Amino acid sequence: MHNEIKYEGKGKALYSTDTPGQLIQKFKDDTTAFDGKKHAVVTGKGVLNCAISSWFFERLHEAGIASHYIRRESADCMRIHELHMLPVEVVVRNMAAGSICRRLGLEEGLKLARPLTELFYKSDALGDPMINTEHAVLFGWATAEQLDTMRELARRINRLMCDILQDAGIVLVDFKLEFGLLDGKVVLGDEITPDGCRLWDAQTGQKLDKDVFRRDLGGLSEAYHEVAHRLGIEGVA
């Protein structure tokens, strides 16, 4: 099937293909939290994440937002353009949850007056520390112009995703994006799945994302199935 493995992370693996510049991104059933200290295999999660991520990348493409996505290759694999990844993660928050609550003493669920973007340096060894624009530019992780583009794209993606999810009765609390360079241009990479988003039922507040696993709140694949079902996503088995 694919050629050699180029990278293996906690939730995904990348394989080379016979076409230069194209890779296969495989979504794994492995699920980790707390810097890998908590681990489980959730059967079917790879297929769900591949279906959800492919679906969102297609919606973004329709809205004119470029990404590494080419097509869904199989149940749990996406064909992508190989990017030169920038080691800066962008988190967008609409409500307070997770690390911002621990850091600033905010109550979970506090609605933010406007979407907030935060930057994190992608380093497993350092536990992805929060950084600002000056750190990223000073240490050469991205240029000021690239960071402006990343933040602007992240805000546009947030608006689109909020609208789509609202129609499905889901609140987009926060999410994480990663970007890379394709022919020198900043484009969206990585994934858009409930592993990297906080999604709450609009009526009940029920969590439909990886917090279900982090906090032992029930079945993870049931929650992800619910998200896929409400969005009308097919091919989730």
Which residues sit at the interface with ligand UDP, rule CB under 6 A?
91, 98-100, 128, 174-176, 196-198, 210
Q: Which is nearer to ligand UDP, 35 or 145 (CB)?
A: 35
Q: Closest CB to ligand UDP belongs to which residue?
A: 98
CB of 11 to ligand UDP, least distance (A): 9
Q: Which is nearer to ligand UDP, 60 or 91 (CB)?
A: 91
CB of 15 to ligand UDP, least distance (A): 22
Cα–Cα–Cα angle for 57, 58, 60, nearest 5°?
65
Q: Which is nearer to ligand UDP, 45 or 198 (CB)?
A: 198
Name the amino acid, one letter, at 88.
Answer: V
CB of 110 to ligand UDP, least distance (A): 13
Contacts of 182 (CB under 8 A, 6+ apart): 66, 68, 81, 83, 84
Between CA 236 and CA 212 the distance in angstroms is 19
Can you name the residues that pair with 26 across neighbouring β-strands? 13, 77
Q: Which is nearer to ligand UDP, 99 or 117 (CB)?
A: 99
Q: Which is nearer to ligand UDP, 189 or 196 (CB)?
A: 196
CB of 70 to ligand UDP, least distance (A): 22
CB of 91 to ligand UDP, least distance (A): 5
Q: How far is CA 231 from CA 46, 180, 183, 228, in A?
A: 18, 27, 33, 5
CB of 18 to ligand UDP, least distance (A): 31
Q: Which is nearer to ligand UDP, 22 or 201 (CB)?
A: 201
Structure token pair of residue 65: 């937002």
**Residue 216 backbone class (left: φ over 0; alpha: ψ -120 to 50; beta: rest):** left
Q: Kindly tell me the sign of the dihedral angle through the C-alpha atoms of 123, 125, 128, 131.
A: negative
